[in-house]
Structure 1
């Protein structure tokens, strides 16, 4: 039967599932695999690094088999040139997250490309509606990686955004790691789900094998949201966005002492030296609260179909009751 929604109809995809454009790890192979599997793959270009895109876009083109795909940016970190260069490759959608998207909206819509805007609170949701978003992603704080410091939990946030944005399709994000989660957000009125951490633990993801293993072996209780690792890495992420990661020695040492860490160049140098020695990961291990539900590292193409089948089964079971 399949799960047909406004999202699947808009992009002519089989399943209401999208890949979160995770900066660096959602490369060409993963994006293409999700699209081949019947979802919408979104390339995680982050700050629009030209060298990274030059490497990953050909991989995507070779492996996508003509399926629709998109590209995502960290809005605070890009300029118009990054968006213009991405549009030259004909993505079906451009997704903008974390920051003011208004400088880029006209160029994206002028190219006939769908505009996907991620929001973390109701003010951002209203702004996305006013800007004419084709799809809105409502991100809850349970998700891995970056999100609003004072965001909302997925379950209560999604239906509020659905009501506010109607008839614009809304994708739910944050802590969704299996088909039951997809079914739950569809029941809340979302047109689909955008998943990140679940797709990090796939064969095509650009992550260190140790990170995929840590996700499989970890628990949601092992994750926490903090700015410590951004400060330690001298990352330019704005203060309003914290990141949910797995445990890390610097988190234990500096938790609740972000101002001290910011003012201590010696500590940041120690972080760099530990990375160089290989005693801590070069990147934080981004992970959402749903990792208890992840116990394997399948192909992303196969995973999309499995998630959709699980979701349909869960909805049918609930309807039968």
Structure 2
């Protein structure tokens, strides 16, 4: 059976799968590969760094003629960032983490599909009021940044689906195989936004050591915390914590975040350790479903494989 949903119809996709626009690692090659595979590739430009976009956008344009989009960390951008992105004619702009209202009208004026990610019901209501074309409901199982006081994917997604209807909702957080996609569809979502699983693909912009860590990682080894943002001097707002694999600075400073924030020597020590190669330049962002990731496929093949596995899971469930 074909997994046709309101989301696939909106973009003319073969599969109800979107690439999470993971800052820095969801580059042009990965975005294009996901779109070629029948999903929606979303370029992870984070704060909209012009040099990064100048390098990665041509890779999307040359790599696919299918629909693709760009995602931003809303707290880190200004209207000029959105304007520059729209010049490249993406089919969608996704805004996450922060107040999207200063940017939504400009996206709409450009005739571009507006995707808003939400981490709680207050954000979901705002997304509906702002006229989002697609809403992503992110549960706390997700890798990377998310709400400090959010909800798990399983109970959160159907709440957003009911609240937002008829706006299509994508489930995000803890989805790394086709069974997770099938579960999202069963919850009423129109598809899934998938991140960590696409970190371990041939096209992802990640160091081989990160891929190895993800393939070897276990869900119980992930942790959501602010320690690593504080240690590395990140400007991420305190309401968003990050789920990562284990890290020695987590062990050293867990439960002492305020002390770390007030200790410039400790933050400098982190930078010194990075410079010496004793800790990686970035944490390994990973969601709770990391155990399910055991190989390094091409992203286009992965999209097709996830969809086929979801179809099989739904068929099997229908027989019981």
- TM-score band, normalised by shorter chain: over 0.9
State how far apart, in whole Å, the 1-side matches of 2:301 and 2:224 are: 30
Q: Is residue 134 of structure 2 the alignment partner of residue 135 of structure 1?
A: yes
Aligned position for 2:27: 27
Summarize deviations over 1:25-70 as a string: whole Å, max 9, x none: 0000000000000000000000000000000001111112x10000
1:303-314 equivalent positions in 2, closer than 5 A = 303-314=302-313
Aligned position for 1:119: 118
Secondary structure of 1:86 counterpart: helix
Summarize deviations over 1:72-110 as a string: whole Å, max 9, x none: 000000000000000011101000000000000110000
State how far apart, in whole Å, the 2-side matches of 1:282 and 1:250 are: 13
Aligned position for 1:224: 223
Aligned position for 1:270: 269
Q: Is residue 128 of structure 2 the alignment partner of residue 101 of structure 1?
A: no
Gap regions ≥5 residues in structure 1: none
Summarize deviations over 1:231-274 as a string: whole Å, max 9, x none: 01100000000000000010000001000000111111110011
- Structure 1 residue 320 displacement after superposition: 1.1
1:1-321 equivalent positions in 2, closer than 5 A = 1-64=1-64, 66-321=65-320
State how far apart, in whole Å, the 2-side matches of 1:289 and 1:109 are: 34
State how far apart, in whole Å, the 1-side matches of 2:11 and 2:84 are: 22
State how far apart, in whole Å, the 2-side matches of 1:103 and 1:269 are: 35
State how far apart, in whole Å, the 1-side matches of 2:289 and 2:91 are: 29
TM-score, normalised to structure 2, is 1.00
**What is the number of residues matched between the two proteins?**
320
Structural RMSD (CA): 0.4
Runs of 4 or more above 6 Å deviation: none
